[in-house]
Structure 1
């Protein structure tokens, strides 16, 4: 599933025109006195132009994006009009069909981006953007934004989803060690439950995208139990959605998340997670009412204000373990920038977003992960971000992209998400998996 606050508590819209001073300025942005515009000379001058951007990132995440490209906007003269919407997946389709497409959209699902590319709505990446993409990212990452051999977008944000957040003090006070195998993880789970604390907490409510944290869980466990090859076959529908190995993974997740003894710490019975916003899902870890919260690297943005991250701080994270200590499968996701317009200022903006300079500047402003090979993990804002970048850059990592994001949008962002909510509410595993399988688009 997706990055950051694209999954929101409520439906709101934030429209900001970025200028050098952070407020609207008629006729385009202008550089500040003494500002060094040398780094942006390659993008040309586009005074008086506007580039509209539509995405799911809101609140603090939106602010950090705007702060990052503010100098670019000022030096090139481009006003970047940003709109963040918690209902991005549904609204982008309505806007495009209604003739109101943005110049640039940040897609959290490659499957959704592919739909627009196949429909001829997206513009192919320019030669400059394609060259930057080849330089900065692996073939796998570029492949997520390639349709029929044509590159349409570039990776903007990456995340590692296979993290379990925990309180080091909680573990230390109870003599618990960070587990390195699935069996050890279940042993920790049982010990915490025996102490009277529900070991797991979660929130899966996210507006139109409610359910994605559950699909992440299922994908992560399938990747560990069945391996990368089976995972790939499932995502591409070479094996059916309701394959017995998928059923097994769902039941394994259910043994934790549908178990009232193990979940939902700090909130109530296990099924309560369906009404808990994902941003709040891990909060009980800080108060000691829950031991562990499986969530992506971007969850660093959602801890209560003042929460410190580190091995001896308020919270930290470990990689969700596999069957043995040597395997290191990693589930991740990302956001891709793609354009509906082909004007010079739009191409310049998309080119800037594709650089390691943009990724590094954004990293220095707050929690953020990039899979760009040109970024230095040392520039990461948190230790978890640093670990994420190191994992993404390590050729030994068995990385796989979020399955629901790669599936056809009607399935991944539709029946799978909805089915997961029905499942956590009490519906059986096989009926849910069978229903999703029946919904898969036929050739």
Structure 2
């Protein structure tokens, strides 16, 4: 199972507590503007270049389900009504397994939304390369970093879809204001702030790595964030196994994470609760002053209790994970990629539409979502946290790197890394032992 897919599903489930959406037709706009789409998206004149697709059907398989899937389908409903095409979407809870079965059985969907570039590369022989037109849209719309993740052996196969900003630390703006705390800009400032908060009698950090059968993945994000901030070259070498998992630089990064996650003075409930605390609820003690900080991605904005105001002047908000090196400007990201198994005219039209500024602006307005697509207006996002995330993601000055465990082989990124981080945080293994064992598992 992909970490990104699980996040997407869980975020959608949490969203259901706060809002309702419909899968077709324009819904009523609520007080937060959810459900509204830009006028451009409802004007059929903007779809003329896609041609007359009356009677054509395009199937899409993805890992996105429930409310989030409804919001996504609403964003392309005007494409359907204006072109005459029908998009049949199916959200799978076992996307990775289903893709293999369908492709092996000669029953691949026309389009698949891959949450893992590494998984997508397993199907290279069956994928349809991007056309010149789609390649031009992708190059216009995304930075080179993003394009590279949709590229296999020098050929572009997939433009990005959604994008999550993962390097976020959640906090209470009022708690910071009341105590005169400033958002830390460096790792050293983050540790100094943590010490100050601990000295005041408040526990600095909340953390939870429990996620059912995927327990451990929230801990991998911690390591990825820290390795990325040690240097993009180190991060790339690590993810691509050009240096071993137990390289001294990686062991040092794990120890660095441990200075927070294995510090009894820092962790709400004690370090022995981290592995058993559900990640969905791990940050909630921030609301009543139980802790001050919790590291989690932008999608976490949809998981707070329904009466929580998630805004820069609200109950909770997030700031960027601080840099270790002066002048760096990095962001760990996740997302999906739009890959095709069919070269039909209708499939090509849908691929081009899903890569368009028109679609991404509309999708921002049909529900909580963020994108790295250049040209969108972040103000179209339905929540402050998604606006903040989109502002970061479309900033060409920000260097992005995809979630490392989603790029690593499944035996590592979705197995030994997960179990290793739990054994480590529980104190059963030290950083070197954890790294050695994961390195030994690398296929």
TM-score w.r.t. length of structure 2? 0.86
For structure 1, the 5+ residue unaligned runs are: 23-34
Q: Which residue of 2 aligns with 1:241?
A: 245
Change (3 A) 1:210 1:74: farther
8 Å CA contact retained: 1:404, 1:411: yes
Instruction: Assess, with a 3 A threshold, how the Cα gap between structure 1 residues 89 and 208 changes in structure 2: closer, same or farther.
Output: farther
CA contact (8 A) 2:111 2:347 kept: yes
Return the match for 1:181 from 169, 186, 192: 186
| Structure 2: distance between partners of 1:46 and 1:88 | 28
Contact 1:87 1:208 in 2 (8 A): no
* Alignment map for 1:6-405 (pairs within 5 Å): 6=8, 8=10, 19-20=24-25, 36-117=43-124, 120-224=125-229, 226-263=230-267, 265=268, 268-323=269-324, 326-405=327-406
**By how many angstroms is 1:211 displaced?**
2.4
Q: Determine if contact 2:150/2:158 at 8 Å carries over to the other structure.
A: yes
Residue 80 of structure 1 aligns to a residue whose secondary structure is: strand
- CA distance 1:17–1:326, shift in 2 (3 Å): closer
Separation of aligned partners in 1, 2:12 and 2:71? 20
Contact 2:75–2:359 under 8 Å retained in 1 = yes
Per-residue CA shift, 1:283-323, capped at 9, x if unaligned? 22223222111111222222222322322211111111123
Cα deviation digits, residues 172-191 of structure 1 (max 9, x gap): 23332221221221122223
Q: Report the alpha carbon displacement of residue 385 of structure 1 after superposing the two structures with TM.
A: 3.1
> Is residue 61–residue 112 contact of structure 2 (8 Å, CA) maintained in 1?
yes
Which secondary structure state, in structure 2, belongs to the residue aligned with residue 291 of structure 1?
strand
What residue is the counterpart of 2:411 in the other structure? Answer: 410
State the shift of 1:143 in Å.
Answer: 1.1
- Tell me the CA shift for residue 21 of structure 1: 7.6
Corresponding residue of 1:32? none
Shift of 1:232: 1.6
2:433 aligned residue:
431
Displacement of 1:336 in angstroms is: 0.8
Deviation at 1:145, TM superposition (A): 0.8
8 Å contact kept, 2:24–2:73: no
Quick one: distance in 2 between partners of 1:201 and 1:209? 19
Q: Distance in 1 between matches of 2:53 and 2:288?
A: 51
Q: CA deviation at 1:81?
A: 2.6
User: Deviation digits for residues 40-81 of structure 1, max 9, x if unmatched?
Assistant: 222223333433322222233222111111111222333323
Q: Contact between 2:170 and 2:295, CA under 8 Å: does it hold in 1? A: yes
CA distance in 1, matches of 2:92, 2:273: 25
Q: Secondary structure, in 3 states, of the residue corresponding to 2:135?
A: helix
Aligned-residue CA RMSD (Å): 2.8
Deviations 1:254-294 (A, max 9, x none): 2212334322x3xx343433344433332222232221111
- C-alpha distance in structure 1 between counterparts of 2:260 and 2:196, whole Å: 14
| Aligned residues of 1:5 and 1:86 also touching (Cα < 8 A) | no
Secondary structure of the equivalent of 1:384? helix
SS at the partner of 2:46?
Answer: helix
Secondary structure at 2:190 match in 1: helix
How many residue pairs end up in the alignment? 420
TM superposition shift of 1:223: 1.9
CA contact (8 A) 1:5 1:58 kept: no
**1:338 counterpart SS class:** strand
Q: Is the 8 A contact 1:165 1:294 kept in 2?
A: yes
CA distance in 2, matches of 1:362, 1:246: 38
Distance 1:57 1:417 in 2: 22
Which runs of 4 or more aligned residues in structure 1 lie more than 4 Å from their structure 2 counterparts after TM superposition?
Answer: 16-22
CA contact (8 A) 1:18 1:81 kept: no
CA offset at residue 220 of structure 1?
0.7
Cα distance in structure 1, aligned partners of 2:88 and 2:324? 47
Deviations 1:411-432 (A, max 9, x none): 3233323322333333322222
Q: What SS does structure 1 have at the residue aligned with 2:126?
A: coil
- Distance across 2 between alignment mates of 1:286 and 1:345: 49
Conserved 8 A contact 2:331-2:401: yes
